[in-house]
Amino acid sequence: MATQTLSATSTSTSTATDGGDVKLRAGATAASLPAPAPPRPGTARDSASASASASSFPGHAYTLTPTEASLRSRRKWGYLRAIYDNTKLMSLTPHLVTISLTLAFNASPLAPPFYRWLNTHSRFTILVVHNYLINAAVQTACVALFTYSDLARRPSWVSRYKIQPHKSVTPAQYRKILGVVVWNMLVVNTLASLSFFPLAQWRGNPTSFETLPSPPRLLRDWAICLLATEVGFYAVHRALHHPRLYRHVHKLHHEFTAPCAAAATYAHWIEHYLSNLLPVFLGLVISRAHFSVMVLFFSGLLIGTHAHHSGYNIPFLGNALPHDWHHYATVENFGPTGLLDALLGTDKTFRSWLREVDATFNGDRVRANTAALETLARFDGDSDQGERQGEGESESESE
Ligand SMILES: [Zn+2]
Ligand SMILES: [Zn+2]
């Protein structure tokens, strides 16, 4: 999946007859047409249309891997533009909530006794142990909630926001993911926290009630941390897509072409340290952030990251579409907020696709989503037929 290529050719010639995939990668382009009866898998008509569309991608043409082509020909995937527009400021919702809660807590009568109790501990305990435990608790809660939702398919309304609804992670795959994630959390996070402490001591990151930042100062420190995270993650992530680094380091994280929340930190330990942890700690050192800013920034980042990586574009939980696309296409959308991708032009294909979806449905995303779901429903019928006939490999083989 690392070497897909783009060409300038393009066409949106898919029709509703070439299957559920119709658009879904194609943004449901053809799904707006009246739905003809789907061809039976294996028929000449089916094979011909699959062959014609195997390498096309609305707006662009990808050279598909053999596995992708095989899946596409059997209509085994779709790419669903979720109904909700989580773009722009909405992608920062988790951060905005944690900032608001922190400001409210710091201004409440609870703050003085809490920070006095906190500072009965050593600075090492506060900046390393407490910070680590809070982060581990937030991450564990995020992984547990999304994993339960994924495996139990509850609550049922969540499924409507699944971006690649035909791809799911099996319990066995979850066990594999959690092995890496727990290792990174226990070992790499601990080492990163320990290496942060001397820098925090040097900078004198405050922890007391008396040194609580004013709201403008809190927002400034948060913005510095966000910028450091954006620059650091983008730079490391883009570098890791160099073929040599990709093969040895980043390929692990791209094992799943449809991401899930638990796999947000399913990564080589070097990648986890350099792209997920180091930029954040550097932001905290540069801004000389108060302990309360450390907690609010890490919490907002962890919630946002797991939501972005969940495979669900859930309203008010951030915009999951760009990173989902990154896993799907293995190109573009390297940064966490999209700022540098927009500035450096590493989101052109993605934006082109979004424009095409909007143009096809005159900007009516509800209609686009409905059409996509209708196509998927037809696809489900075909898929069941194909499976009964024992055709082909399992879906999980491709992920
Ligand atoms: Zn990547
Ligand atoms: Zn990812």
Closest residue by Cα to residue 184 from 301, 263, 267, 278: 267
Three-state DSSP state, 57: strand
104 and 74, same domain (yes or no): no
Which ligand approaches the C-alpha of residue 332 most closely?
1
pLDDT at res. 59: 28
The stretch 37-59 carries a mean pLDDT of 33
pLDDT at res. 264: 96
More confident residue, 105 or 324: 105
Instruction: Compute the distance from residue 239 Cα to the ligand 2 centre, in Å.
Output: 15
Instruction: Compute the distance from residue 104 Cα to the ligand 2 centre, in Å.
Output: 33
Domain presence at residue 334: no
Which parts of the chain fold into alpha helices (H)? 44-53, 66-73, 93-106, 111-118, 123-124, 131-152, 171-183, 189-203, 215-240, 243-245, 269-271, 278-287, 291-308, 321-329, 339-344, 348-360, 365-388
Domain presence at residue 326: no
139 and 267, same domain (yes or no): yes
Instruction: Compute the distance from residue 334 Cα to the ligand 1 centre, in Å.
Output: 7
77 and 99, same domain (yes or no): no
Distance CA 335, CA 190 (A): 25
Domain presence at residue 330: no
Asked if the model's pLDDT at residue 382 lies above 50, the reply is no
Domain presence at residue 44: yes
270 and 140, same domain (yes or no): yes
- Last residue in a domain, options 300, 319, 338: 319
The stretch 272-281 carries a mean pLDDT of 97
Asked if the model's pLDDT at residue 45 lies above 60, the reply is no
More confident residue, 265 or 352: 265
Asked if the model's pLDDT at residue 284 lies above 80, the reply is yes
64 and 206, same domain (yes or no): no
Instruction: Compute the distance from residue 340 Cα to the ligand 1 centre, in Å.
Output: 15
391 and 248, same domain (yes or no): no
Domain presence at residue 136: yes
Supply the range of the domain harboring residue 134: 88-319
pLDDT at res. 90: 66
Domain presence at residue 286: yes
- Last residue in a domain, options 302, 319, 336: 319
Distance CA 262, CA 147 (A): 7
Distance CA 61, CA 79 (A): 15
58 and 93, same domain (yes or no): no
173 and 304, same domain (yes or no): yes
pLDDT at res. 362: 72
Q: Give the count of alpha carbons within 13 A of 173, CB side only.
A: 23
Query: 302-316: per-residue pLDDT in tens?
Result: 999 999 899 888 877
Instruction: Compute the distance from residue 9 Cα to the ligand 2 centre, in Å.
Output: 28
Domain presence at residue 16: yes
61 and 92, same domain (yes or no): no
Cα dihedral sign for 28, 33, 38, 42?
negative
Instruction: Give me the residue label for tokens 């609010």.
Output: 296
The stretch 21-35 carries a mean pLDDT of 33
pTM: 0.74
366 and 243, same domain (yes or no): no
74 and 99, same domain (yes or no): no
Asked if the model's pLDDT at residue 137 lies above 80, the reply is yes
Containing H/E element for 6? Answer: strand 6-7
Number of domains in the chain: 2
Percent of the chain at pLDDT exceeding 70: 66
> Of 92-96, 151-155, 198-202, where does the model show the most confidence?
198-202
pLDDT at res. 24: 35
The stretch 234-250 carries a mean pLDDT of 95
Query: 327-349: per-residue pLDDT in tens?
Result: 877 888 999 988 999 999 998 88
Instruction: Compute the distance from residue 163 Cα to the ligand 2 centre, in Å.
Output: 14
Task: Return the DSSP state at 321.
Answer: H
Domain presence at residue 327: no
Instruction: Compute the distance from residue 266 Cα to the ligand 1 centre, in Å.
Output: 12
110 and 55, same domain (yes or no): no
- Last residue in a domain, options 296, 319, 342: 319
The stretch 212-222 carries a mean pLDDT of 97
